[in-house]
């Protein structure tokens, strides 16, 4: 039967599989597209907000005439209600194959943690996914709402400021990945647009982030004198920490292969055959070479004679490093000040250098392994300024180990 002026036959349930190559309107915005090769498919064409769009209904050899017409009528109904049939179809497809939070977040974590340098950071990430986000585990990644994140995850830990902050930041990264993978269109954990309008400003810690309670440098000689009289290994670890201005983790992971006691040098890139990425425990990606003051070399030589592990300051099992809590406990015990932190020795050194010396600012920062300058400047800083830093750290060690009576602020050093 031909009822079209262009001579094309009318498509129906009986002949749609026999139509020759061409494009045939089938009513309800449905078209049968037949390729010269004989392949045929259903196409729904529509216009929404002035924009022409289309969506496929599959192969005509697999989707029957009746099914295609029904899909076309359903799509027109969605259009009539102001929706977009293509978007609704895609949402339905995502829902059918969308993963649950736990397997998706676990797969993301296993990939993301490769970029994390420290085991502590990897452990923290795992704890967030497996424990803090546990209420989300059995929910589909596309159905999790901001309200669920607030009520089930963040509210219980809201006053644990750092934990809550780290958790919401990691959740945001997980949902960013879900958006990139096509499972979501929005991020329910976005702080600026979703969480903060409902949660309000996060509570502050007692101090600004990054501050570590430090001992006054005027009090340091007396403290070091007390420390020297204690035979514990933890006391030696504190001495070396204070005299090198090193980070706690760096001291914990110090190993004998790192040390050249004859030349008074601590080289965190000296582990043969391993890429240390700045050394175990360091905070940036620059290999660190630290000149050792004479006092530190003397302490280490004494420890070397009685070494029982590859670690200079081993833990109880001897196969791992001493705990940072062991050092902190000893610090509080000797100082009788429960507010002090081991990391605070770096602040003590920095304040002394600023107040009492005329050493170059850049060299002082380098002693703390703070590489100054923008990325371009850093790219050209290949040296370690060992000689200059040795002068600074030796002056610092001489001050720190001076008799307590002379521990008052001293004249300027240069």
Cα(89)–Cα(172) distance, integer angstroms: 26
3-state secondary structure of 265: strand
Mean pLDDT of the region 254-277 = 72
Mean predicted confidence (pLDDT) in 268-280: 42
Spatial distance between the Cα atoms of 265 and 276, rounded to a whole number of angstroms = 17
SS3 readout for 158-207 = CCCHHHHHHHHHHHHHHHHHHHHCCCCCCCCCCHHHHHHHHHCCCCCCCC
| Residue 404 pLDDT | 66
Instruction: Give the mean pLDDT of 156-174.
Output: 90
DSSP code for 247: -
Could you give the percent of the chain with pLDDT greater than 70? 84
Q: What is the mean pLDDT of residues 118-135?
A: 91
Contact 187, 172 (CB under 8 A): yes
Q: Say what the pLDDT of residue 380 is.
A: 37
β-strand 265-267 against 289-291: which pairing, if any? antiparallel
Q: How far apart are CA 276 and CA 340, in angstroms?
A: 30
- Pick the residue with more confidence: 109 or 409? 109
pLDDT at residue number 209:
43
Written in H, E and C, the secondary structure of 366-378 is HHCCCCCCCHHHH
What local confidence, expressed as pLDDT, does residue 94 receive?
A: 65
Q: What DSSP element (H or E) covers 299?
A: helix 294-305
**What is the per-residue DSSP string for 2-54?**
--STT-PPPP-TTTTTT--SEEEE-STTEEEEE-TTS-EEEEEEEEETTEEEE
**Would you place residue 383 in the very low, low, confident or very high pLDDT band (cuts 50, 70, 90)?**
low
Q: What is the DSSP letter of 58?
A: E
Residue 8 banded pLDDT, cuts 50, 70, 90: low
How far apart are alpha carbons 240 and 232 in whole angstroms? 13
Determine the average pLDDT of the residues in 104-111: 91
**pLDDT confidence band for 374 (50 / 70 / 90):** very low
Question: What would the mean pLDDT of 379-386 be, rounded to a whole number?
Answer: 57
- Residues constituting the chain: 414
Local confidence band at 119 (pLDDT 50, 70, 90 cut-offs): confident
Mean pLDDT throughout 89-116? 84
Average pLDDT over residues 10-31: 92
Q: What percent of the chain has pLDDT over 90?
A: 55
pLDDT at position 259 over 60: yes
As a whole number of angstroms, the distance between CA 331 and CA 323 comes to 13
Q: What is the pLDDT of residues 313-367, one digit of tens each?
A: 999 888 889 998 999 999 999 999 999 999 999 999 999 999 999 999 889 988 8
User: What is the C-alpha to C-alpha distance for residues 358 and 390, in angstroms, rounded to an integer?
Assistant: 15
The two tokens of residue 388 are 């200059």
What confidence category does residue 37 fall into, taking pLDDT thresholds of 50, 70 and 90?
Answer: confident
Rounded CA gap, 394 and 317, in Å? 34
Please report the pLDDT score of residue 281 as a whole number: 44
Confidence label for 95 from pLDDT (cuts 50, 70 and 90): low
The rounded distance, in Å, linking the Cα atoms of 32 and 46 is 14
Whether 282 shows a pLDDT value over 90: the answer reads no
Cα 405–chain centre separation: 47
Read off the pTM: 0.49
The stretch 249-261 carries a mean pLDDT of: 92
No. of helices (H) and no. of strands (E), the chain = 16, 7
- Tens-digit pLDDT profile for residues 185-199: 899 999 889 998 888
């Amino acid at each position: 039967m031909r009822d079209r002026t262009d001579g094309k036959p009318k498509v129906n349930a009986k002949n749609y599989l026999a139509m020759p190559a061409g494009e045939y309107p089938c009513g309800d915005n449905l078209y049968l597209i037949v390729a010269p090769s004989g392949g045929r498919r259903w196409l729904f064409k529509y216009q929404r907000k002035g924009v022409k769009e289309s969506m496929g209904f599959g192969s005509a050899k697999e989707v029957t005439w009746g099914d295609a017409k029904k899909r076309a009528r359903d799509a027109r109904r969605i259009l009539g209600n102001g929706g977009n049939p293509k978007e609704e179809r895609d949402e339905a497809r995502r829902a059918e194959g969308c993963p649950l939070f736990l397997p998706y977040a676990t797969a993301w974590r296993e990939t993301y943690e490769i970029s994390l340098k420290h085991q502590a950071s990897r452990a923290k990430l795992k704890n967030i996914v497996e424990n803090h986000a546990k209420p989300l585990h059995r929910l589909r990644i596309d159905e999790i709402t901001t309200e669920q994140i607030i009520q089930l995850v963040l509210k219980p830990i809201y006053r644990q400021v750092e934990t809550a902050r780290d958790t919401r930041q990691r959740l945001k990264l997980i949902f960013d990945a879900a958006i990139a993978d096509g499972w979501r269109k929005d991020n329910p954990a976005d702080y600026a647009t979703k969480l903060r309008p409902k949660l309000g400003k996060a509570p502050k810690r007692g101090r600004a982030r990054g501050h570590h309670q430090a001992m006054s440098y005027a009090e340091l000689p007396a403290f070091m004198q007390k420390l020297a009289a204690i035979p514990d290994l933890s006391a030696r670890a504190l001495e070396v920490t204070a005299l090198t201005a090193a980070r706690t983790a760096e001291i914990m992971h110090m190993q004998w292969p790192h040390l050249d006691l004859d030349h008074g040098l601590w080289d965190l890139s000296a582990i043969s055959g391993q890429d240390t990425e700045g050394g175990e425990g360091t905070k940036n990606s620059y290999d660190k070479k630290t000149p050792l003051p004479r006092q530190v070399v003397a302490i280490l030589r004494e420890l070397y004679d009685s070494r029982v592990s590859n670690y200079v300051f081993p833990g109880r099992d001897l196969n791992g490093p001493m705990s940072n809590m062991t050092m902190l406990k000893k610090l509080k015990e000797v100082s009788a000040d429960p507010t002090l932190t081991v990391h605070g020795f770096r602040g003590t050194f920095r304040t002394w250098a600023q107040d009492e010396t005329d050493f170059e600012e850049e060299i002082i920062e380098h002693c703390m392994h703070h590489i100054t300058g923008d990325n371009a400047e850093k790219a050209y800083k290949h040296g370690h300024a060992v000689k200059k830093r040795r002068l600074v750290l030796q002056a610092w060690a001489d001050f720190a180990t001076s008799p307590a009576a002379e521990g008052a602020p001293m004249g300027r050093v240069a």
